[in-house]
């Protein structure tokens, strides 16, 4: 038996005068899959851009609950592509079962002449039934491609193959904990020339538990940001630095007061492979289960490509 969890998104959307909105239920979506024993769950019906952290953890909890049944062969989750990279990775962090969990969605609404949802759902169902996908962690099936959720990011607003991976061989790594009911708050900021250092101070004053910074190049920024990072770390926040560059490792190379070498010296943790959306998810998950800065640092350092 395959569990189909629907959450909304473009795959369930139809066009209205106010734009495309999720309207289809699991009953509408399930028949598009190949003949199989499918049990459908209408979990929610929202655009993924409007999801809250609570919604994302509800999805992960629904996956874990589905896999508690030994009769289940795997789980397919339909989800909007806007934030699929985050929710699918959150699931990967908590789902330790070897049975396949596959996220899928669509780039075009269900009533579009270019609707790609039915083919993507069929591919996700097929992926669940493929024994070669056992033990691979959470997968994303869309546009004729099946990718690991780890390191994934959206690369196109229109192409059917919507995603790419920073690196295809990141090892699976779990937080090895039950899904928490109370979650930490983690803010994320993009850095650029002239960015106000006050954004970090604001996060501290608003009691964020952690901050993720998408810096320039290989993790570099202005010295004023480094000073605020030091203050945030001293205030007890965990700060993770990644890059806004799509590909390549983040290697601390530059100094000068605002380089990644300086940020690391101020107490920031370098996310070598995960970019800001998934780095934030990892930090949020870790802090939510009680991890401290040392454990967070160990986690990010462990994410190295498999030879």
Do both 146 and 40 map to the same domain?
yes
Q: Does some domain include residue 181?
A: no
| Residue 267 burial (10 A CB sphere; 0-12, 13-18, 19+) | middle
96 annotated ligand binder = no
187 annotated ligand binder = no
State the CATH number of the domain containing residue 65. Answer: 3.40.50.1170
Do both 199 and 286 map to the same domain?
yes
DSSP bridge pairs for 13: 22
Which residue is catalytic, options 6, 78, 81, 87?
81
One-letter-per-residue 3-state SS of 236-304: CCEEEEEECCCCCCCCCCCCCCCCHHHHHHCCCEECCCCCHHHHHHHHHHHHHCCCCHHHHHHHHHHCC
State the CATH number of the domain containing residue 232. Answer: 3.40.50.40
Q: Is 10 a catalytic residue?
A: yes
Do both 231 and 88 map to the same domain?
no
Q: Does some domain include residue 307?
A: no
Residues sharing a CB contact under 8 Å with residue 82, sequence separation 6 or more, in sequence order: 9, 47, 48, 49, 154
Q: Is 221 a catalytic residue?
A: no
Owning domain of residue 100: 2-165
Are 104 and 80 in contact, with CB atoms under 8 Å apart? no
User: Residues of 169-208 as b/e, b for ≥16 C-beta within 10 angstroms?
Assistant: ebebeebeeebbeebbebbbbebeeebebebbeebbeeeb
Do both 10 and 111 map to the same domain?
yes
Do both 279 and 192 map to the same domain?
yes
Which residue is catalytic, options 10, 104, 216, 221?
10
Are 46 and 135 in contact, with CB atoms under 8 Å apart? no
Per the structure, how many domains does the chain have? Answer: 2
Are 127 and 102 in contact, with CB atoms under 8 Å apart? yes
Q: Does some domain include residue 173?
A: no
81 annotated ligand binder = yes
- pLDDT at residue 28, as a whole number: 87
Reading the chain (307 residues) residue by residue, the pLDDT tens digits are 999 999 999 999 988 888 888 888 888 888 655 556 899 999 999 999 999 999 999 999 999 999 999 999 999 999 999 999 999 999 999 999 999 999 999 999 999 999 999 999 999 999 999 999 999 999 999 999 999 999 999 999 999 999 999 886 788 888 889 999 999 999 999 999 999 999 999 999 999 999 999 999 999 999 999 999 999 999 999 999 999 999 999 999 999 999 999 999 999 999 999 999 999 999 999 999 999 999 999 999 998 876 6
Residue with tokens 């193959």: 161
């Amino acid at each position: 038996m395959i569990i189909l969890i629907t959450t909304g998104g473009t795959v369930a959307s139809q066009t209205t005068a106010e734009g495309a909105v999720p309207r289809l239920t699991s009953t509408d979506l399930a028949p598009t899959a190949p003949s199989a024993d499918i049990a459908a769950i209408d979990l929610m019906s929202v655009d993924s851009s409007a999801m809250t952290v609570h919604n994302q953890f509800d999805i992960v909890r629904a996956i874990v609950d589905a896999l508690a049944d030994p009769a289940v062969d795997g789980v397919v989750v339909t989800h909007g592509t806007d934030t699929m990279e985050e929710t699918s990775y959150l699931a990967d962090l908590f789902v330790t079962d070897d049975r396949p969990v596959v996220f899928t969605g669509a780039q075009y609404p269900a009533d579009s002449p270019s609707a790609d949802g039915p083919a993507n759902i069929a591919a996700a169902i097929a992926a669940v039934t493929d024994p070669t996908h056992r033990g691979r962690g959470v997968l994303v099936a869309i546009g004729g491609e099946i990718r690991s959720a780890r390191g994934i990011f959206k690369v196109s607003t229109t192409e059917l193959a919507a995603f790419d991976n920073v690196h295809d061989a990141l090892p699976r790594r779990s937080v090895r904990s039950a899904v928490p009911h109370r979650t930490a708050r983690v803010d994320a900021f993009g850095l650029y020339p002239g960015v106000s250092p006050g954004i970090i101070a604001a996060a501290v004053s608003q009691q964020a538990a952690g901050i993720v910074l998408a810096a320039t190049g290989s993790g570099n920024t202005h010295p004023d940001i480094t000073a605020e990072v030091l203050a945030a770390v001293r205030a007890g926040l965990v700060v993770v630095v990644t890059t806004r560059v799509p590909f390549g490792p983040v290697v601390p190379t530059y100094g000068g007061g605002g380089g990644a070498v300086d940020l690391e010296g101020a107490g920031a943790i370098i996310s070598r492979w995960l970019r800001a959306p998934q780095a934030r998810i990892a930090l949020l998950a870790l802090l939510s289960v009680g991890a401290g800065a040392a454990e967070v640092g160990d986690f990010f350092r462990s994410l190295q490509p498999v030879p």
